[in-house]
A and B are shown apart, each in its own frame.
Chain A
Amino acid sequence: MSNEINFVIDGVEVTGKPGQTILEACDEAGIYIPRLCRHPELTPRGSCRLCTVLVNGRPQAACTQPITEGMIVESETEELNENRRNIIDMLFVEGNHFCMFCERSGNCELQALGYRFGILAPKYDYFYPKREIDATHPDIFIDRNRCILCGRCVEASRTVDGKGVFEFVGRGPERKIAINAEQFLKDTNLKITDKAADVCPVGAIIKKRTAFTTPIGKRKYDKKPIGSDIEEKRKKD
């Protein structure tokens, strides 16, 4: 069996390895596909659907779809980017995302995607849902106002930490992150060194006493859009 798989994305020929997903192969080739729930060290879930691309004309999540020889992938189309923008808009209005006092602001992946897509304001009306905060743990707090239900903490706690501190409960608009304890986060075996405390793309799970250490202007996405580290790989070649 060949150790190379060739496919085309947006007219660019890419060579990947067997077993790679579209997203992984494109990352290596320096082509950025927007994504939110995907974390490079965790099993992809395909839950946010931001990375949806057209594979031979059919929509597929690039983070879960393996590459195959000769596939034609479209990503940077007007329609797909419009869909992505809509997903970002909806995530903003479905939660309570107060960037101005959020500890993650400037390093937040949701916010960074808003910036990358040049979103000045969501096009939908805000929900202002009532969500719960749990700050009982000595080192970590969870603020569900900012949660986008990406599932990274669930996955990290289960597979990396081997604990299962977080889990989804409820369906539809009632869906939320629950914790594996009678009541409070302090009653779980979550530790500050756990992967689960480290992977939140937004400000929902924050380590205490780490906020606002980087001045405005030097934060991760202040000057460069999210994905530019990947895109720079291609420019160098």
Chain B
Amino acid sequence: MAKPKIATAALTSCFGCHMSVLDIDERILELIEIIDFDKSPINDIKKFTGQCAIGLIEGGCGNEENVHVLQEFRKHCDILIALGDCAIMGDIPAMRNNIPLKECLDEAYLNGPSVHNPEKIIPNDKEIPLCLDRVYPCSEIVKIDYSLPGCPPNAEIIWQALVAILNNKPLDLPYEIIKYD
């Protein structure tokens, strides 16, 4: 029987949660005994090769491409996990959520103290994904099956959750590994 596949993606985030996945250290060797990585920045596979058992989503949705990727993941993954606080609640990028988008762009590209932009151009190339009005938690875009909090989630919660889900067991996570920071 073919091994179940795991796909991962980083949306509006810092990649810290992916670093935390690698933080399971040598257990990653155990992990690839029982699963294959599909589309993921870890192996640089760009496209889904088929249906995946688990999708790990790092980051919230701050632009239209994030939404597209997230919807693709929902389509291709049986179980979708919001990995880390950005995916769950937007986290640091969501600090812009109660500031109008125009004010954010003006500050970043026109008014910021270190900005050098004599032509006063706010990037608007059609190749650049369009910024959304705010950063959306993943659960507001698609159905999320599990959430693993933390900034980043520690390797232990990632490992224990993956092992439980892959073995069809309920998540029974010990107190010390559930952290919101």
Contacts and interface: CB of A to CB of B under 8 A. Distances in A.
Q: Do A and B bind each other?
A: yes
Interface of A: 96, 98-102, 105-106, 111, 114-116, 118, 120-122, 125-126, 128-130, 216, 222-225
B175 A115 contact: yes
Contact of B91 (A100, A111, A120): A100
Contact of B180 (A111, A216, A223): A111
Contacts of B43: none
B104 interface: no
* B85, B91, B151, B181, most chain A CB atoms within 10 A: B181
21 contacts: A98-B91, A99-B151, A99-B181, A100-B91, A100-B92, A100-B151, A101-B92, A105-B181, A114-B180, A115-B178, A115-B180, A116-B175, A118-B173, A118-B178, A120-B178, A121-B88, A122-B89, A125-B139, A128-B134, A223-B175, A225-B175
Contacts of A224: 175
Given A128-B97, A225-B175, 14 more contacts: A99-B151, A100-B180, A100-B181, A102-B181, A105-B181, A106-B181, A115-B178, A115-B179, A115-B180, A116-B175, A121-B88, A128-B94, A128-B98, A129-B98
Nearest to B140: A125
Contacts of A129: 98
B55 interface: no
* A101, A121, A216, most chain B CB atoms within 10 A: A121
A202 B174 CA distance: 23
B26 interface: no
Given A125-B140, A126-B90, A225-B175, A100 B85 contact: yes
Interface residues of B, number: 29
A121 B181 contact: no
Interface of B: 82, 85, 88-92, 94-95, 97-98, 134, 137, 139-140, 144, 146-149, 151, 171, 173, 175-176, 178-181
A222 B176 contact: yes
A118 B157 CA distance: 13
B141 to A, nearest CB: 11
A232 B176 CA distance: 18
A99 B180 contact: yes
A175 B13 CA distance: 33
A125 to B, nearest CB: 6
A98 B95 contact: yes
Contacts of A102: 181
Contacts of A101: 92
A129 B147 CA distance: 23
A99 B91 CA distance: 9
Given A106-B181, A114-B180, A128-B134, A121 B139 contact: yes
B94 A105 contact: no
